[in-house]
Amino acid sequence: MSDKPEAGRNAKQEKAQFPEPETTSVHIFPEWCKGCGICVAFCPKQVLEMGKDQKAHVAHPEKCIRCYLCARRCPDFAVSVYGHTRKAEEKRNEGTDGEK
């Protein structure tokens, strides 16, 4: 147990404020995208394309297999993939949350 569980900002509380939408599985946040092309080049299903605006775009969302590689390799935190479960979150759901 942490001796100060409620002190300051905690990732879990933050997360609860912004529930993930369920409509699309992959999303590009254009304000942070710098157009490096990494997500487009290494997507195994060619879901993403570079736009004329030098930003990545989701061209074929239906092909996405939610492998999460684009989001992991984006240096700018501009790609999100929904439906992905975090290890820590799984642990919390199992009720092992209290032990740190």
Partner 1 sequence: MAAHLPYEYIYLRYKKKFPHVWCPGCGIGIVMGSIIRAVDTMNWDMNDILLVSGIGCTSRMPVYLDFNTLHTTHGRALAFGTGAKLANPALKVIAVMGDGDALAIGGNHLIHSARRNIEITTIIVNNNNYGMTGGQFSPTTPPGTFTATTPYGMMEPGFDICSLAQGAGAVYVARGTVYHVMELDKLIAGALEKPGFSVVEVLAPCPTNFGRANRLGDAVKMMESLRDGTITQVQAEKLPPEERVGKTVRGVFLDREDSEGYTARYARLCEQAAGGVSGK
Residues near ligand SF4, by CB under 6 A? 26, 28, 33-39, 43-45, 47-48, 56, 64-70, 74, 76, 78-79, 81
| Footprint (CB under 8 A) of partner 1, residues 55-84 | 69, 71-77, 79-81, 84
Among residues 60 and 92, whose Cβ is nearest to partner 1?
A: 92
Choose which of 49, 65, 88, 93 interacts with partner 1 (CB under 8 A).
Answer: 88
The size of the interface with partner 1 (CB under 8 A), counted in residues, is 45
- The CA distance from 28 to 63, in Å, is 16
CB atoms within 10 A of CB 72: 11
Q: How far is the CB of 23 from partner 1 (least distance, A)?
A: 11
Q: How far is the CB of 31 from ligand SF4 (least distance, A)?
A: 11
